[in-house]
């Protein structure tokens, strides 16, 4: 079963370490493809659909409070920083455009990725990791129930559906946050703020941003489930897997964020 | 039926199983005993390829389990029931849902048939009234019995029991022993029992094997087993105060009468 066998071990020395890393990427990649390929099944099969909805609730609705706060403050910080600069040229009415572009292109998906890594990815890794060390994953395999289909695919489906939505929501709340700062600190009237924001808001920026969020969602699920399935060494191992899944997700989000930006925007 | 052919399994540099060979016959109750940490659970896991040997091979009739993948492996595994040492129930489902899981996912049975099978499995292990509880609301011994119910609910040909009676009081232990025995006698289920409970093994097993340093140092019928002069066997028996002339007949009779 791809979740645990073949076992390449810890990997000794530099060469072993590199080999191990490549093995991990390969197996993680296979898990990601398998779980995405099962997406249609999640929609048609009653029991799977229920599980998908449960996971969407877990990933999406449960993280809304923290997302809202993060998004609002992100918008406020953006508006304040940009506003302080623009005020030197008496151009602070344009903060709306700056906040809009920054959120759509980068901060919306990025903040979504960070928050979901922290609250959803870590809990996925911990839950699947605990199941692995308690032999629950092995028990599923013994019942010939694929852990990828039973556990990972609904999580993957939920994240694919939810991350773009959450990213969009982050942008909207961020714009509102920026507007509040504009109104109260920089004396930019609400109407003018929104108008400049909408004038500079580009649909393409929105789409690229949502695509980024989607990729981040796949990364978070893939990394966290892989870490969970490959957990060993009891409770200590669960802690280590959780930590590792957060670190790996954040690094991959930063790097792919850059790569996607570079792909869609020419210099 | 299940055959180990010179199986060696290493973790790190340690040989947990070391050139282990044996065969389990169809329809027998085969008990594996031995001190903690010698590799009894590891041996069981090799029978369904939850672990793969570093050397040697494991066979189920004509199928090489240790090389089976995909569909073949699923077919092999669906012939087995496996009671895990940790019971391995899914924490977010009730006991009933846990037991119904393999039926719901793998058979086309109707809900009322499933409920019936689940209920009878629960009764068999003495948990008839605990079905609606969650695993963390019942004791460790009850979780074990729920795990047992789940492993037999699909009516497998072979059941692997990893310490079915550990954590149970002596009376419930004997009930579980009798259950294992009656599944074996009534339905012909081949049973492999890993246990610390020597009395249970002596009373219900057809053969007992003692695992020591990666090998079976003794594989024999209970009657022969307690007379063995092999030093590890003697040490193991003496530690549990089983004399050479242990009275099988009266013990077995006593066991049946208490039923
Ligand atoms: N996945 C694993 N990785 C590394 N070492 C392992 C693994 N599984 C088992 N071992 C080692 O193999 C040895 C045998 O383990 P096993 O679980 O089979 O013991 P056991 O005979 O079942 O003991 P107990 O009666 O306590 O259950 C132990 O020393 C354990 O440390
Ligand atoms: Mg064990």
Q: How many domains does chain A have?
A: 1
Q: How confident is the model at residue A107 (pLDDT cuts 50, 70, 90)?
A: very high
B167 and B59 co-located in one domain: yes
In a domain, A225, yes or no: yes
Residues of the domain holding A67? 19-264
Helix or strand holding residue A26 (H, E): helix A13-37
Q: How confident is the model at residue B29 (pLDDT cuts 50, 70, 90)?
A: very high
pLDDT tens across A79-100, in order? 999 998 888 888 888 888 889 9
In a domain, A221, yes or no: yes
pLDDT tens across B5-20, in order? 999 998 888 889 999 9
Max CA-CA distance within chain A? 70
Bridge-based pairing state of the strands B207-212 and B55-60: unpaired
Listed residues B106, B126, B155: the one ending a domain = B155
Structure tokens at B2: 């299940």
Question: How far is ligand 1, taken at its centre, from the CA of residue B51, in Å?
Answer: 11
Burial of A8 from C-beta contacts in 10 A (0-12 / 13-18 / 19+): middle
In a domain, B84, yes or no: no
B166 and B253 co-located in one domain: yes
Q: CB–CB of A145 and B101 under 8 A?
A: yes
B173 and B253 co-located in one domain: yes
Q: What is the pLDDT of residue A186?
A: 84
In a domain, B252, yes or no: yes
B75 and B179 co-located in one domain: yes
pLDDT tens across B121-179, in order? 998 888 888 888 999 998 888 888 899 999 989 889 999 999 988 878 888 888 888 88
In a domain, B119, yes or no: yes
Residue B217 sits in a domain whose CATH number is: 3.40.50.300
**Cα B181 from Cα B203, distance rounded (Å):** 9
Cβ–Cβ under 8 Å, residues B190 and B159: yes
Percentage of chain B surpassing pLDDT 70? Answer: 97
Listed residues B109, B140, B155: the one ending a domain = B155
Phi first, then psi, for residue B108 (nearest 5°) are: -105, 20
Q: How confident is the model at residue A9 (pLDDT cuts 50, 70, 90)?
A: low
From chain A residues 104-133, the ones with a CB under 8 A of any chain B CB are 131
Asked if pLDDT for residue B216 goes beyond 60, the answer is yes
- Per the document, the length of chain B is 259
* DSSP letter string, A31-88: HHHHHHHTHHHHHHSHHHHHHHHHHHHHHTGGGHHHHHHHHHHHHHHHHHHHHHHHHT
Residues of the domain holding B124? 89-155
**Partners of residue B241 on adjacent β-strands:** none
**Cα A64 from Cα A169, distance rounded (Å):** 9
Helix or strand holding residue B58 (H, E): strand B55-60
Q: How many domains does chain B have?
A: 2
| ipTM for the whole complex | 0.88
Cβ–Cβ under 8 Å, residues A58 and A156: no
Residue B67: DSSP 8-state: G
Percentage of chain A surpassing pLDDT 90? Answer: 56
Q: What residue spans of A92-152 are helical by DSSP H?
A: 95-102, 108-116, 122-133, 136-142, 147
From chain B residues 127-156, the ones with a CB under 8 A of any chain A CB are 154
B128 and B170 co-located in one domain: no
pLDDT tens across A117-167, in order? 999 999 999 999 999 999 999 999 999 899 999 999 999 999 999 999 999
Structure tokens at B51: 């672990």
Nearest to B211 by CA among B47, B18, B58: B18
- Per the document, the length of chain A is 267
B140 and B229 co-located in one domain: no
The protein residue with its alpha carbon nearest to ligand 1, atom 7, reads B11
Q: What is the pLDDT of residue B256?
A: 63
B223 and B116 co-located in one domain: no
B187 and B253 co-located in one domain: yes
In a domain, A191, yes or no: yes
B30 and B47 co-located in one domain: yes
Listed residues B104, B132, B155: the one ending a domain = B155
Q: What is the pLDDT of residue B165?
A: 87
Q: What is the pLDDT of residue B144?
A: 87
Which chain A residues are Cβ-neighbours of B158 within 8 angstroms? none
Q: What is the pLDDT of residue A213?
A: 95
Q: What is the pLDDT of residue A64?
A: 93
The answer, for B78 touching chain A at a CB cutoff of 8 Å, is yes
Distances (CA, A) of A255 to A249, A258, B98: 10, 5, 41
Please name the residues in contact with B135: beta carbons below 8 A apart, sequence gap of 6 or more. B87, B89, B90, B91, B93, B95, B98, B143, B146
B49 and B129 co-located in one domain: no
pTM: 0.88
In a domain, A12, yes or no: no
Residue A145 three-state SS: coil
The answer, for A18 touching chain B at a CB cutoff of 8 Å, is no
Which chain A residues are Cβ-neighbours of B148 within 8 angstroms? none
Helix or strand holding residue B86 (H, E): none
In a domain, A72, yes or no: yes
B93 and B171 co-located in one domain: no
**Partners of residue B17 on adjacent β-strands:** B9
Question: How far is ligand 2, taken at its centre, from the CA of residue B188, in Å?
Answer: 25
Helix, strand, coil percent content, chain A, rounded in steps of 5: 85, 0, 15
The protein residue with its alpha carbon nearest to ligand 1, atom 28, reads B37
In a domain, A7, yes or no: no
Which residues form the pocket of ligand 1, taking CB atoms under 6 Å from any ligand atom? B 11, 16, 36-42, 85
Q: What is the pLDDT of residue B173?
A: 84
Cβ–Cβ under 8 Å, residues B83 and B162: yes
B149 and B228 co-located in one domain: no
Q: What is the pLDDT of residue B237?
A: 81
């Amino acid at each position: 079963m791809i979740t645990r066998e073949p076992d390449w071990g810890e990997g000794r020395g530099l060469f072993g370490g590199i080999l191990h890393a490549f093995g991990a990427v390969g197996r993680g990649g296979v898990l990601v493809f398998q779980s995405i390929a099962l997406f249609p099944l999640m929609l048609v099969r009653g029991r799977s659909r229920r599980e998908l909805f449960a996971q969407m609730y877990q990933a999406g609705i449960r993280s809304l409070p923290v997302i809202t706060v993060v998004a609002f403050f992100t918008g406020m910080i953006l508006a304040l920083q940009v506003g302080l600069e623009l005020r030197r040229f008496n151009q602070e009415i344009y903060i709306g455009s700056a906040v809009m572009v920054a959120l759509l292109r980068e901060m919306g998906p990025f903040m979504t990725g960070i928050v979901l890594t922290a609250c959803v990815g870590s809990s996925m890794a911990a839950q699947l990791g605990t199941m692995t060390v308690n032999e629950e994953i092995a028990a599923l395999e013994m019942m010939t129930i694929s852990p990828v289909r039973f556990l990972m695919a609904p999580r993957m489906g939920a994240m694919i559906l939810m991350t773009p939505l959450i990213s969009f929501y982050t942008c909207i709340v961020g714009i509102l946050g920026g507007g509040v700062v504009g109104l109260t600190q920089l004396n930019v009237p609400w109407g003018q703020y929104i108008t400049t924001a909408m004038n500079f808001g580009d649909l393409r920026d929105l789409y690229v941003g949502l695509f980024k969020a989607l990729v981040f969602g796949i990364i978070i699920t893939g990394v966290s489930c892989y870490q969970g399935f490959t957990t060993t060494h009891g409770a200590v191992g669960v802690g280590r897997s959780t930590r590792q899944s957060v670190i790996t997700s954040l690094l991959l989000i930063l790097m792919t964020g850059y790569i996607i930006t570079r792909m869609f925007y020419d210099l | 039926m299940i055959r180990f052919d010179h199986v060696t399994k290493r973790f790190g540099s340690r040989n947990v199983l070391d050139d282990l060979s044996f065969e389990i016959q169809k329809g027998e109750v085969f008990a594996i005993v031995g001190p903690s940490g010698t590799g009894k659970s590891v041996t069981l896991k090799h029978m369904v390829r939850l672990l793969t040997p570093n050397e040697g091979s494991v066979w189920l009739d004509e199928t090489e389990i240790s090389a089976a993948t995909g569909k073949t492996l699923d077919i092999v595994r669906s012939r087995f029931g496996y009671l895990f040492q940790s019971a391995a129930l899914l924490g977010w489902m009730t006991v009933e849902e846990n037991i119904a899981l393999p039926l719901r996912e793998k058979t086309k049975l109707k809900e009322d048939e499933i409920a019936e099978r689940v209920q009878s499995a629960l009764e068999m292990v003495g948990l008839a009234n605990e079905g609606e509880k969650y695993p963390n609301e019942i004791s460790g011994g009850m979780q074990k019995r729920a795990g047992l119910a789940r492993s037999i609910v699909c009516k497998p040909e072979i059941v692997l029991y990893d310490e079915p009676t550990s954590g149970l009081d002596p009376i419930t232990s004997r009930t579980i022993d009798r259950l294992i025995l009656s599944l074996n006698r009534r339905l012909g289920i081949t049973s492999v029992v890993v246990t610390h409970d020597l009395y249970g093994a002596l009373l219900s097993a057809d053969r007992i094997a003692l695992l020591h340093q990666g090998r079976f140092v003794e594989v024999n019928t209970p009657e022969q087993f307690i007379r063995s002069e092999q030093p590890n066997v003697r040490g193991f028996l003496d530690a549990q105060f089983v004399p050479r002339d242990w009275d099988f007949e009266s013990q077995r009779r006593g066991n049946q009468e208490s039923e």
